[in-house]
Amino acid sequence: MTLLDLTPRVVNTDRLSTLPVAIIGAGPIGLAAAAHLVERGIDFVVFEAGTDIASSVRSWGHTRLFSPWKHLVDPASRRLLEARGWVLPDPERAPTGRELVEEYVAPLASVDEIAARVRLGVEVVGVSREGMDRTRTRSRAATPFAVRIRIADGEMEDVSARAVIDASGTYLSPNSLSSSGLELLGMADIAGAVAPALPDVLGRDRLRFAHRHTTVVGAGHSAANTLLGLAELARQESGTTVTWLIRNAQAVRVSSSADDELADRARLGSRVDQAVADGRIRVLDGVEIIRGRRAGEGVELVGHRRGEVVTHATDVVVNATGFRPNLDILREIRLELDEIVEAPKRLAPLIDPNVHSCGTVEPHGFRELTHPEQGFFIVGMKSYGRAPTFLLATGYEQVRSVTAWIAGDTASASNVELTLPATGVCSTDLGGGGGCCS
């Protein structure tokens, strides 16, 4: 086995050092990376596909996080904000996603040194090296990155960068409704009846679900949140019904357990259990979905259940099967990913959801996040691939270490520790199974 050389190689500095670091995604982690680069005096540009910062968090903004404020703010970002008079909200209170954006992420994005470098409505559609596809090796590390962006009017351009930090999350790339993981057969026909995870069923999206039959697919906490919202909607609006469709024989991942270390998480499970016991949520377990098709005003999901073919009719489907990283944009980049969870190879054993819960993941930094492509890093939610255990606190330490490495400060980059407490945290579902939090 050859050992990877993790020392930053300073090559062709004249050109590279004049270029900015490209950050993909203006979520909490991308903006934390920006704050660290401000402190280091390194130029950067943040590309955000949404029309506003933190657009993924805004999508599930009605959902309350499990972590209290004291675990949710990046230390470098806090320093920048406090220098401008910002005050940390009640440290013991857990905000909703919307509060997280309004009271912390948006003020951070408004700091002059960051605001001037954020480009909204700009989607990164590919990353490569200037004039080099992934097969070319000679002078690779000395060659600037070429980040291909699509701007609002659809026009494309390539932007040069000295390093790339991919903080694009996973919210925009949900798992498939199909048990095989491949795109569901018939998906194009039923797409209009499929809602993404965590719809705001009691608020913004109410009209879509009231007086209708909704089927929630998935067994994690985002499914649980949606099921509870729909059960409440059914109480308020006649003719609203709810089915919970899961692949496993039982919904064990979300059910409550007396030794759950997170009180709120345990309460969520027991509230779903109660709604099922009361008959407000109908459970259809052991179903492997293979196809969807239109049926009148609604849709049918066709699958296997205990050796038989079953057809389930519904008006709306909520895909709460979890998320996976979008690797398509990284096709020309030399990645080293775990073959199961699709996280960076050295990080994967630390976050294996079969071993670790949200609170037990060790702090880690540039060493675990390094790929054969020098100067390229996946951080934040996306760095965990399909594992459901991501916490903002660990993501903040990731970007502190990675930006220190980019600055050539290997000592600081290597000194990885969690400055924020790491309990009371969470993330999303794993492949139709369960997750820590959403």
Ligand X SMILES: Cc1cc2nc3c(=O)[nH]c(=O)nc-3n(C[C@H](O)[C@H](O)[C@H](O)COP(=O)(O)OP(=O)(O)OC[C@H]3O[C@@H](n4cnc5c(N)ncnc54)[C@H](O)[C@@H]3O)c2cc1C
Return residues touching ligand X (CB under 6 A): 24-30, 47-50, 54-57, 60, 63, 65-67, 123-124, 167-169, 171-172, 198, 222, 329, 380-381, 390-392, 395, 425-428, 437-438
Structure-token pair, residue 11: 């090559």
Closer Cβ to ligand X, 199 or 292, answer by number: 199
- The structure tokens 């270390």 sit at 261
Which two tokens mark 9?
């190689």
Q: Which is nearer to ligand X, 370 or 383 (CB)?
A: 383
User: Shortest Cβ distance from residue 336 to ligand X (Å)?
Assistant: 20
- Beta carbon of residue 296, minimum distance to ligand X (angstroms, whole number): 33
Q: Which residue, 121 or 298, has its beta carbon nearer to ligand X?
A: 121
| Per-residue tokens: 164 | 């790339």
For the chain, state the CA radius of gyration.
22
Q: Which two tokens stand for residue 21?
A: 């670091």
- Let me know: does 376 contact 402? Beta carbons within 8 Å: no
Phi/psi for 278 (5° steps) reads -80, -5
Residue 223 tokens, joined? 């499914």
In the bound state with ligand X, the residue whose beta carbon lies nearer, of 29 and 406, is 29
What is the amino acid identity at position 285?
A: D
Helices (runs of H) and strands (runs of E) counted in the chain: 15, 16
**Shortest gap between Cβ of 381 and ligand X (angstroms)?**
4
Tell me how far, at minimum, the Cβ of 293 lies from ligand X, in Å: 30
194 vs 299, beta carbon nearer ligand X: 194
Q: In whole angstroms, how close is the CB of 337 to ligand X at the nearest point?
A: 17
How many angstroms separate the Cα of 257 from the Cα of each of 175, 288, 322? 26, 26, 22
* Minimum distance of ligand X from residue 155's CB (angstroms): 15
d(CA 297, CA 19): 54
Q: How many CB atoms lie within 10 A of CB 347?
A: 26
Complex with ligand X: residue 32 or 234, whichever CB lies closer: 32
